[in-house]
Amino acid sequence: MTEPRTPLADLTEQALAELYDRLDDAEDELAERRDAGNALYRSWNEQRTALTEGATLGARVHNTLLVLRARIATSPRDWAQSSDDAWMYAVLYGWDCEQQHEHTTDCRNQLVEVAAKHGWHAGRVERIRKHRAAFAQIGPNGETDARAARDAEEY
């Protein structure tokens, strides 16, 4: 509620001093709120910048993974020949079918065969599957490839 205005001629020196004190307090409060608002904006801007940079980096990593998968998929190299190549293929591309469907005998299921060829023990195969699962979550995987193929067929 607004205070009634006192005519200027009726103001005493004491009343003017109180009004000036209230004006000074209001100006100080305004400056504090402005500083708080500026600090909030700077903090928000830093977070926005960090998120933008993170999203850009994430997109670059995802694109790099797409390139790696395409390179492995189209390479004439026999990735099962050496143990190191087979491990890399298992993590980056996967020896088993990763599509979300009812698996049949047509589906790839070669990790066990490759593991036997190179003498990998069950613990190593399990770690490879964990690495592949984690890698598939951050990048393209068999279901991504299958979805892209289905989408291409629809158009």
Give the pLDDT confidence of 84-138 residue by residue, as tens digits.
999 999 988 888 877 777 777 777 778 989 999 999 999 999 999 999 888 877 7
For the stretch 26-61, pLDDT in tens is 999 999 999 999 999 999 999 999 888 888 888 888
Q: What's the mean pLDDT when you consider all of the chain? A: 84
Which ranges of the chain would DSSP assign to H, the alpha helix? 13-74, 83-92, 111-118, 122-138, 142-154
pLDDT, residue 31, reads 94
- Per the model's pLDDT, the better-predicted residue between 130 and 155 turns out to be 130
Give the residue from 107, 129, 108 showing the smallest Cα distance to 120: 129
pLDDT, residue 139, reads 62
First to last CA, the chain: 66
Is 141 exposed, middle or buried, given 0-12, 13-18 or 19+ CB atoms closer than 10 A?
A: buried
